[in-house]
Amino acid sequence: MTRMVSLKCILLIGSLLIGCKKDRPPAAKPAPRDPNTDRAVTPPEPNVPKPPELDPAARGTQTALAEVLAAIREGRLDEAETKLKALEAKSASLPKSLQDQIAAARKSLDAAKTAKAASDSKAKAEAALKEVLALIREGKLDEADAKLKTLEGDSASLPQPLRDQIAAARESLDAAKTAKAAAESKAEAESLLAKILALIKDGKLGDAEKLLKTLEEKAASLPDPLPSKIKAARTALTAKKAASAGGIGLPGLPK
Kindly report, residue by residue over 123-156, the tens digit of the pLDDT.
Answer: 999 999 999 999 999 999 999 999 999 999 999 9
The span from the CA of 112 to the CA of 120, in Å, is 12
Model-wide pTM > 0.85: no
Please tell me the distance from the alpha carbon of residue 153 to that of residue 43, in angstroms, as a whole number.
Answer: 81
Residues 65 and 115 in one domain: yes
185 shares a domain with 154: no
With respect to residue 29, please indicate whether it lies within any of the assigned structural domains.
no
In sign, the C-alpha dihedral spanning 161, 165, 170, 174 is positive
Q: Mean pLDDT over residues 210-217, rounded?
A: 93
Is 92 a member of any domain? yes
Task: Please indicate, yes or no, if residue 83 is contained in any of the structural domains.
Answer: yes
Q: What backbone torsions phi and psi does residue 40 show, to the nearest 5 degrees?
A: -65, 140
Q: Which of these, 157, 254, 165, 248, lies nearest to 208 by C-alpha position? A: 254
Give the residue numbers spanning the domain of 99.
56-158
130 lies in a domain? yes
What pLDDT, in 10s, does the model give residues 219-234? 998 999 999 999 999 9
* Domain annotation covers residue 151: yes
In a domain, 33, yes or no: no
- Is 226 in contact with 193 (CB distance < 8 Å)? yes
Residues paired with residue 226 on neighbouring β-strands, in sequence order: none
In a domain, 80, yes or no: yes
Count of the separate structural domains present in the chain: 2
Is-contact 77 108, C-beta < 8 A?
no
